[in-house]
A and B are shown apart, each in its own frame.
Chain A
């Protein structure tokens, strides 16, 4: 047993190195062929990095790291100051450093966006695969349910669900329901795209061959169907991350997002602060720029990934 694994070990290590080299080469190719997509990817990486290291909690330190201050540190004598060396983005009406708040805002967007899209990817893969593979009454039923979900304007359903589920909820509770509602709403639309992809994969000859060899439905789904629709799910999820971040910002803007003092980009722009924004228009500038860059990054990356991985999907990406 021990000797057997030794023999296998050496080529496996080589193989791993080759895989890494291949991966690096394809990243290089992607950057050269899709510069805009690569730029989008760069924006996304910056956002992830900033969200992770706004403060040192991830590496076991307890002070702000990338952000110059805590998001709720107040300098009461420096309220509503425009950009300066001490506060590059200025300060808000409570004397909080805007740069720090925008940096921390990335964390809110990333956590909610990624969680919601993960939930959406799981639900839509599950429903789309079962619906597309088995067809029949389950397909009919699931598709009618999807019809109903996508009849609602997304933001309307989102605010309604979040308000009804946690009317006076604390930050954690709010975040939980927001993520769940957003995930389900996104899943409804994308399960249809997954279903379409499953139907087209299902008619491939290798699926027929597997079935002729006596493979069970679950084996065919797990080994043949799901791996082949996974690129579709990944592309959809990338574009939807942009939409999810935009949706989170919209709902925070309306005042139904994560409650203060947590810094969410949308909430920083909301109507209550408009008097202060008149005094200091920079307040209205930075959070919006952050949202726009994040959404732009995910859109560009998703578009480029789609062109590279699955050109058939062109034009299928939903908006907002």
Chain B
């Protein structure tokens, strides 16, 4: 078991190195010339001399391998450089922002699971019932409705119909948990219980619901389930003790692999609902071509995905002893 985890962790290293290379390639090698203009100021006239000076100051005049080494050795010292725009440390900015996105993601996950698991299981147990049909069509609908549409509609309609708006000021979880959860889950008060985490969770739940149902249906047809029935066990025992455990293994994988989509979705939710997480940080950084921040955000988000893939592998091996030695 420990050897398996260790082997997986070692395999992470080349992927992470590749991630840094790709970030460097996409951001630094293709760095647009407009960066010089932004550093100099929008109205500044840029002569060749000024251009060279700014390049030298930013270290952009040196060969790529030196620039890459500089950046990477900085990353190991938790030094992500200075924002071109605010002139503050990128690392400090990240420190306040990543917990916000992680919280949004986790809340969305909870919302998603608390909808999709019970409904998916019930739909399978009562296959072809009215509930099953409703659940299936809703799941398909959830897959097609874009989060930013739902978000925009909620914001627009609650303003129009009830004259309520999202709280303009974000409150940190550690400062006031109640207010923070309200912003994440139901920012429009009791009228519309649909906040960013809920919309994100609804978007995720479609896939999980469909998979849970399909897995349960498959497991419920197995021989050992028939054996359990013939032993005279109650339906509840059969479903909870025998079926769910076996059906959930692929579900865990898929939930884990949804992280990239959660992070993508949180960019949009943070933009609509004005939440100061990594997503909005990225959007502002891109608008200002603030490349140290762009690099840092890409690197951190990709590392989070790599780490969560490792966690999924480990969880998988714990749930299903057969894969451990594969």
Residues of A whose CB lies within 8 Å of any CB of B are: 144-145, 147-157, 159-161, 163-165, 167-168, 242, 246, 249-250, 253-254, 256, 266, 269, 271, 274, 277-278, 281, 284-285, 287-289, 291-293, 295-296, 299-300, 314-315, 319-320
Contact = CB atoms under 8 A, between A and B. Distances in A.
Contact of B160 (A145, A149, A266, A281): A281
B143 A288 contact: no
A299 B305 contact: no
Nearest to A287: B149
Contact of B260 (A152, A293, A315): A152
Given A164-B31, A284-B149, A288-B145, 7 more contacts: A150-B260, A153-B302, A157-B298, A163-B286, A281-B153, A288-B149, A319-B258
A160 B25 CA distance: 11
B22 A149 contact: yes
A264 B294 CA distance: 26
Contacts of B202: none
B62 to A, nearest CB: 19
B112 to A, nearest CB: 12
B282 A274 contact: no
B144 A292 contact: yes
Contacts of A154: 260-261, 264
A3 B13 CA distance: 68
Contacts of A299: 140, 143-144
Contact of A292 (B149, B207, B301): B149
A153 B160 contact: no
A175 B21 CA distance: 26
B79 to A, nearest CB: 21
Nearest to A256: B286
Contacts of A147: 15, 18
A139 B214 CA distance: 32
18 contacts: A147-B18, A152-B298, A153-B260, A153-B301, A156-B263, A157-B26, A160-B26, A253-B148, A266-B148, A269-B149, A271-B271, A278-B160, A288-B145, A292-B144, A292-B149, A299-B140, A300-B140, A319-B261
Contacts of A160: 26-27, 282, 286, 294, 298
Given A153-B264, A167-B32, A284 B27 contact: no
Interface residue SS majority, chain A: helix
Contacts of B250: 315
B60 interface: no
A85 to B, nearest CB: 23
Contacts of B159: 278
A250 B159 CA distance: 23
Contacts, number: 156
Contacts of A159: 267, 282-283, 286
Given A144-B14, A156-B297, A319-B261, A151 B32 contact: no
B interface: dominant SS: helix
Nearest to B148: A253
A249 B149 CA distance: 10
Interface residues of B, number: 56
Given A156-B301, A160-B26, A284-B152, A250 B34 contact: no
B141 A296 contact: yes
Contacts of A161: 26
B94 interface: no
Contacts of B275: none
A34 to B, nearest CB: 14
B297 to A, nearest CB: 7
Contacts of B143: 295-296, 299, 319
A128 B24 CA distance: 26
A148 B156 contact: no
Interface string B136-168: 000011011110111011011101100000000
A277 B149 CA distance: 12
B211 interface: yes
Given A152-B301, A281-B156, A295-B144, A163 B268 contact: no
CB-based closest 7 A-B pairs: A288-B149, A155-B264, A148-B18, A296-B144, A153-B263, A153-B260, A295-B144
B263 to A, nearest CB: 4
Interface string B229-267: 000000000000000000000100000001111011101
Interface string B283-326: 10010010000100110011001100100000000000000000
Contacts of A277: 152, 156
Contacts of A254: 267-268, 271, 283
Nearest to B278: A156
Nearest to A154: B264
A242 B149 CA distance: 16
Given A151-B306, A156-B267, A164 B26 contact: yes
Contact of A274 (B14, B30, B155): B155
A245 to B, nearest CB: 10
A274 B273 CA distance: 12
Contacts of B19: 148, 151-152
Nearest to B17: A148
B272 interface: yes
Contacts of B26: 157, 160-161, 164
B146 A288 contact: yes
A302 to B, nearest CB: 11
Given A292-B145, A295-B144, A269 B152 contact: yes
A311 to B, nearest CB: 12
Nearest to B282: A156
Contacts of B302: 151-153
Nearest to B295: A160
Nearest to B29: A164
Contacts of B289: 163, 167
A291 B146 contact: yes
A319 B21 CA distance: 26
B261 A274 contact: no
Nearest to B31: A164
